[in-house]
A and B are shown apart, each in its own frame.
Chain A
Amino acid sequence: MVNVLTPERAERAHGPRPARPVVAARDRTRRRQTVVAYLFLAPTLLFFAVFLVLPLGFALLLSLSHWSGFALGDIRPVGLDNFTGLFADGSTFLAPVLTNTLLFALGTVALALAGSLTVATCIDNLRFQGLWRTLYFLPIVTTVVAVGNVWKYMYEPGGLVNGALNALGLDSVAFLQDPDTALPSVVVVQAWASVGTAILVLTAGLKSIPESYYEAAALDGAGPVTVFRRITLPLLRPSLLLVCVTQIVTGLQSFALIVVMTRGGPGDATDVAALEMYRQAFSYGDWGTASAAAFVLFAVVLAVTLLQLWIFRRGGEDA
């Protein structure tokens, strides 16, 4: 402990004080605290002003303008044209881009949830839980460039996955080259990479379920399926909600994996909204459309989050 005086000892050291100066001293402390607080907060507030408020305003302005990205003076207001353009006939934004985005997010969360729920309930019965958790966690601390390239290579005709299929007597699959299999193949990788967090959250949720519930169920002669459906699942609801919301939100926004693995191809089979936004800005120089796409995706993210919260609330449990 540092050399700290308790209030009583301080009192003794400085002697009792008259009432008035105490009030004045408290005012002084308040003023000093305000100054210090704003000094401590200054870097943060400055940063948020320049890199949060300003960009949001700028993006909003751009989404209502036409701009090809050179001089700032060339920004030309066009009202809602960028937004109507996104949803006009012949635009690929609604389909396949937005549908791909939703399929990517929902597919990922479904796979990750099924996998993590299975593994988490099983881990709960085992020894060396820390070891298993560490193993399942490795993909999370690995850069997306490594994850994407390793899987891309494993999906190739001479790669591990097809090698395993061939060993089982099955034909090779052109996972990333075939428009029908490209999106599911990428979804598998995203789920593989995110299952560790889900396992962690669900394991913690399982640990918080009192052992006595299971003992009571065992006394009543309930089978494992009944126990899982009537005890584990309902009491795990808050953890499941957390996993669902965070993974769907992450899935809706992420495109780094797709940039590494397919760059949206073949054709636009794996093109997702965030990637489309990126390409509109940095490849096609259509900054207005890019910003409009970003806001549409933001609206989708918000809507999905609220919808999920509402569904789970209605299910009876307060998460």
Chain B
Amino acid sequence: MSRRRFPWLSYLVVVTGAVLTVVPFLDMVMTSFKGPGESGTLPYRFLPEAFDLANYRAAMDQLDLPVLFRNSVVATALITGSVLLTSSLAGYALAKLRFPGRDLIFRLVLSTMMFPPFLFFVPHFLILVHWPLAGGNDLFGRGGAGLTVSICALAIPFLVNGFGIFLMRQFMVSIPDEVLEAARIDGAGEFAVWWRIVLPQTKPVLVTLGLLTFVDAWNEYIWALLVSTADPDVMTLPVGIQLLQDYVDPTRTMPIVMAGLVLSVLPVLVLFLLLQKYYIRGVMLSGLR
């Protein structure tokens, strides 16, 4: 067959591309072990002189890593949990319940995906600052910092996701109505039908959506940067590591930054490698990443 005529050329192209993809990661890991005066000097050397954990210890000391981790974990967990819950609830209603206004609401959900995130940075921040009765604000949202000084601020704009609802709805539509009807006749309420019959059947999609949401939330940078400017106590890993750039000893800055980056990237990479089947299906379905 003609398209299998040059496999060696194919191997050359694919392996070269893969090397180009992986080398920056290797450079990150190698640099994270480099000692003072070893990085950023000429001539460039790929390997460090010794694999020594000093930079990792420095990153731990310099940053409040446990706090950064906690903030990242809390925000990511809030977002992922909320997206899964709201998407599967709304998805079920839109897929399997009959009620006036269903098509209109479905179209609304679809249209939310059209608005780019940058449109919302400014108004979301203002809404959180002026949130009534929070962070020293009065009933009309005046006087204090509002919700921007709470760890919830990291999560709030991402708690509901139009794509998530769409995804859940598309999968729930294919569950046979007879199964649900039988359970209803059996006396199960809608909540029980959703919880005991629909959710177990959509487990793979829930994993996919959860993983996509987790990765996005863990990696989110711009919004977290905004919120932590208002309140440094809610700083997340990406924001904190970016700040490491101002480390006092310039000969060691980059290796320490790289050590912090390795630590922050590791959880997501491990999760991705374990569950990549689900993640890749999610990307195929969204086509958005």
Contacts and interface: CB of A to CB of B under 8 A. Distances in A.
A48 B157 CA distance: 10
Interface stretch (B48-56, B58-66, B98-106, B202-210): B98-106
Contact of A158 (B17, B40, B156): B40
Nearest to B88: A40
Given A41-B93, A145-B241, A201 B221 contact: no
Contacts of B120: 51-52, 55, 59
B150 to A, nearest CB: 16
A38 B118 contact: no
B185 interface: yes
Q: Does more than half of chain B's interface fall in helix, strand or loop, or is it mixed?
A: helix
B242 A136 contact: no
B280 A145 contact: no
A22 to B, nearest CB: 12
The residue in B3, B31, B185, B265 that gathers the most chain A C-beta atoms within 10 A of its C-beta is B3
Interface string A221-239: 0111001000000000000
B122 A291 contact: yes
B186 A55 contact: no
B230 to A, nearest CB: 10
Query: Looking at chain A, what size class is its interface with the partner chain?
Result: 35 or more
A90 to B, nearest CB: 24
Interface string A136-149: 11111111111101
Interface in B110-129: 112, 115-124, 126-127
B269 A141 contact: yes
A208 interface: no
Contacts of B7: 125-126
A33 B94 CA distance: 11
A137 B280 contact: yes
A218 B2 contact: yes
Contact of A134 (B39, B196, B276): B276
B222 to A, nearest CB: 5
A2 B43 contact: no
Nearest to A297: B118
Given A40-B89, A136-B21, A223 B2 contact: yes
B248 interface: no
22 contacts: A4-B182, A7-B178, A38-B93, A40-B93, A44-B90, A51-B157, A55-B124, A55-B127, A58-B123, A58-B126, A59-B119, A135-B21, A138-B22, A141-B215, A143-B238, A145-B221, A153-B27, A217-B2, A246-B289, A256-B222, A281-B121, A281-B122
